[in-house]
Structure 1
Amino acid sequence: MKKEGTLLLSDYAAQIAPTDVLGRSDFSPVLQGLYGEVGGIMTTAKKHVREQSAFPGFRKAAEEEFGDTLWYLAAICRRLDVPLEEVFAEAANHGNFRNVGAASDVMEGAMAYIAVPVAVPVPLDTTLVRLGQSAAALLGSVAPDRAGLVAFARAYLDAMHAAKLAFSDVARGNIRKARGAFLEPGTADLASLDFDRAFGREEQLPREFRIRVNQRGSGKSYLQWNDVFIGDPLTDNIADHDGYRFHDVFHFAYAAILHWSPVIRALIKHKRKSNSRYDEEQDGGRAIVVEEGLTAWIFSKAKELNFFENQKKVSLGILKTIAEFVSGYEVEKCPLKLWERAILDGYAVFRQMKENEGGWIVGNREQRTIAYLPLEPKE
């Protein structure tokens, strides 16, 4: 795996700025957010250092918490019109660091100077206490000032060094997370998220589809595609009749909006068998189980939220869990914002399907849309 190079903090600040939708004149949400994320750092960083390589997930969690804290620090700097890079430059400009020259991978400059700690390594617990104290000082101030930001940034650097994390990994990871969760993907982003365009039509998920869903007197729902029955008749399989018999709507929403659904590929026999790696790793039984398990888990959360009715967002906690579910599969490339759209649009169709006990699922992969149409009137 190729190691990513230097990241300018000015570039980081510019890339995450569009994700800041909080009020620009109100410091309370960002100060409270920063204070809360420092608590997350204390938990994850200690686990990462204590367990080391035994649990690599702790490293990822620690990087994420440091990244979220950096996001809030950048938000505070933005409200004070103080450049983030200047805050960190001042934070590293003291006796605990020395500048080491390095050949730069930034085209505008031949040399880069890296602030390297020179003092005896400070125990992680000590750095975390200082980080917490500096966060509390910011939260307790009437209005944060530059000196308070520099003090916090200094404690942040010390804690990150003690936790044995790379600053560029922290910042880049936060860019991916923040932009993926809060910004609608652009046309260029979506172009690379078509996972089967290079395959023949018989191995693609259909570009457009109309699926007839009909509930019969037995309470079972039946699917038809091109006038052919597909899959098995479904019931809710639970005493609480919650409409899960119509849950295939969600798989079709994934197919239309995410361009991904091992379940639908198996259902319509469009697996990518011409490539054994795709057939086994992306379209095989394990991928199907992951999709079914994820769908059932989201459904359990949706029941608590009235199936997302009148909801315009899906909680970041749910979206982060989804990312963990699909890690290792091609759909992990899809930004969380696209998952949010697939869930909200899929549940909009589901609610109508449940209310009317059937209907048409209309999907368009080119437009990444899913819609509902009622069944034709019975004669």
Structure 2
Amino acid sequence: MADSFIPLTIDEYARQAALTDQRKGKHALSFSMLGVFGEAGSLLSEVKKKQRDKASYLGYADAVAEELGDVLWYLASVARRSGLPLSAIAASAADATRLGSAADNDLTFHALQPAHIPITTEPTTKFEHRLLALAGQIGLFVNDYQSGALKKREQMMVSLTQVMRQLIAAANDSGVTLEAAAVKNQHKIFDRWPRDRTFPPPFDLSMDPEEQLPRRMTIEVFERTVRKQDYVFQKSNGVFVGDRLTDNAIEPDDYRFHDVFHYAHVAVLGWSPVVRALLRLKRKSDPKLDDSQDGARAILIEEGVTSWIFGQAQQLNFFEGVKRGGLPLDMLKHIRQFVTGYESERCPLWLWEDAILQGYAAFRFLQKHRRGRVLIDFPNRRLRIKELPL
């Protein structure tokens, strides 16, 4: 099994990273420069968090690997936009005694570092100093670019080599291999910006039909005033779905239409403990699954995620005008943390984004019209909404 492992080449990583670069136009290089600078700051921030919260900050090692990968991604972006192969920069920065006779385009990340790097779970003084040196080198790099001192490719090559040399040394002192950081980075960027959009199979595929979430379903959602109080009612095939809903808030905010987000979870993710409870589709034939994935805690998690996203959406005009690929990565990563331990943690971030954007498109429709016919179309991973006549 070990013989089947193929080391990741630097050129292959750079090629894969280019596929997820969303920035275009004349300011793209400046944006990449800002990215390198910003991610170096994030790396320093992880060390600061671990020093401040030594016992309680448990994500330090993973965070350092992720931030090293992010610095690497932006370096690849700067190199590409400067017409320089990342492998040539790495070869120039590396210890020549480790490289052997391999051509630059065959250079692997493994060749850049010692064969054995001590694993560390806390920042050492040496690593802190190395990070400050890396940040300082990146600062000089950005300053030289701003001043116009890097107009020639040779000058850019020298400056990028100095940054890469510090990055390799920082990885050595952190106990992280750049290959691990690069692989982690690849997984993250394709989780967010995929090469192809292949939908995962339904979580309840093996269950009997009466314990499966609906693959297609139509729900009529409408507002009605009862004793001077506005309520939202829902019906499917003439039968009421759930209880009538209010905003449950002092200031009205239309949250009473929020079940449309759960319907989006069904239509796009194939997941919703809330809808399972509403439609009595809990997987009782598997008591363990019923308890852990369809029970009260799972319902509270979904409601919590929905409420938290709503708070973010209120500040962004309920995501009006946000296109696919436009939701903040940090928001999607927080959602993944929310649902850790539940089925939906296996949903890629891009699919979560689809569910959110489709749910909020339907929500904005209901805000405007106060009623609508919601259509769950799971085979096509779509949530649609149409006018509902009075």
TM-score bin, normalised by smaller chain: 0.7 to 0.9
Alignment of 1:38-49 (within 5 A): 38-48=40-50
Secondary structure at the residue paired with 1:220?
Answer: strand
Q: Could you say which residue in structure 2 is the equivalent of 1:123?
A: 126
Q: Could you say which residue in structure 1 is the equivalent of 2:186?
A: 175
Q: Could you say which residue in structure 1 is the equivalent of 2:140?
A: 137
Give yes or no for contact 1:98–1:117 (8 Å, CA) kept in 2.
no
Q: What is the Cα deviation at residue 32 of structure 1?
A: 1.2
Q: State the distance in 1 between where 2:383 and 2:82 align.
A: 43
Q: What is the Cα deviation at residue 24 of structure 1?
A: 6.0
Secondary structure at the residue paired with 1:233?
Answer: coil
Secondary structure at the residue paired with 2:251?
Answer: coil
Q: Could you say which residue in structure 2 is the equivalent of 1:345?
A: 358
Secondary structure at the residue paired with 1:146?
Answer: helix
- Greater shift in the superposed pair: 198-207 or 309-318: 309-318
> Taking structure 1 as reference, are residues 11 and 123 closer, same or farther at Cα in structure 2, changes over 3 Å only?
same
Q: What is the Cα deviation at residue 134 of structure 1?
A: 1.5
1:297-318 deviation digits (Å, cap 9, x = unpaired): 1111111222122222222232
Give yes or no for contact 1:48–1:163 (8 Å, CA) kept in 2.
no
Alignment of 1:86-105 (within 5 A): 86-94=88-96, 98=98
Structure 1 portions without partners, runs of 5+:
101-107
User: How many pairs are equivalent?
Assistant: 362
Q: Could you say which residue in structure 2 is the equivalent of 1:84?
A: 86
Q: Could you say which residue in structure 2 is the equivalent of 1:64?
A: 66
Q: Could you say which residue in structure 1 is the equivalent of 2:240?
A: 229
* Mapped pair 1:30 → 2:32: yes
Secondary structure at the residue paired with 2:63?
Answer: helix
Q: What is the Cα deviation at residue 243 of structure 1?
A: 0.7
Give yes or no for contact 1:134–1:152 (8 Å, CA) kept in 2.
yes
Give yes or no for contact 1:362–1:372 (8 Å, CA) kept in 2.
yes
Q: State the distance in 2 between where 1:116 and 1:236 align.
A: 59
Give yes or no for contact 1:48–1:62 (8 Å, CA) kept in 2.
no
Alignment of 1:1-379 (within 5 A): 6-23=7-24, 26=27, 27-48=29-50, 55-94=57-96, 98=98, 113=111, 115-116=113-114, 123-141=126-144, 142=148, 143=150, 145-183=156-194, 185-186=196-197, 189-190=198-199, 192-218=200-226, 219-312=230-323, 313-377=326-390
Give yes or no for contact 2:91–2:99 (8 Å, CA) kept in 1.
no
Q: What is the Cα deviation at residue 210 of structure 1?
A: 0.4
Q: State the distance in 2 between where 1:275 and 1:307 align.
A: 38
1:286-330 deviation digits (Å, cap 9, x = unpaired): 221111001001111111222122222222232222122122222
Task: Letter of the 1:115 partner, please give it.
Answer: Q
Q: What is the Cα deviation at residue 51 of structure 1?
A: 6.7
1:135-171 deviation digits (Å, cap 9, x = unpaired): 1122122336112112111111111222222323321
Secondary structure at the residue paired with 2:84?
Answer: coil
> Taking structure 1 as reference, are residues 25 and 241 closer, same or farther at Cα in structure 2, changes over 3 Å only?
closer
Task: Letter of the 1:23 partner, please give it.
Answer: K
1:243-284 deviation digits (Å, cap 9, x = unpaired): 111100000001101111111111111122333342222222
Q: Could you say which residue in structure 2 is the equivalent of 1:104?
A: none
Structure 2 portions without partners, runs of 5+:
101-105, 119-123
Q: What is the Cα deviation at residue 119 of structure 1?
A: 12
Task: Letter of the 1:278 partner, please give it.
Answer: L
> Taking structure 1 as reference, are residues 239 and 52 closer, same or farther at Cα in structure 2, changes over 3 Å only?
closer
Q: Could you say which residue in structure 1 is the equivalent of 2:103?
A: none
Q: What is the Cα deviation at residue 48 of structure 1?
A: 4.7
Give yes or no for contact 1:222–1:232 (8 Å, CA) kept in 2.
yes
Q: State the distance in 1 between where 2:98 and 2:263 align.
A: 56
> Taking structure 1 as reference, are residues 276 and 161 closer, same or farther at Cα in structure 2, changes over 3 Å only?
farther
Q: State the distance in 1 between where 2:158 and 2:340 align.
A: 41
RMSD: 2.9
Give the TM-score normalised by structure 1. 0.86
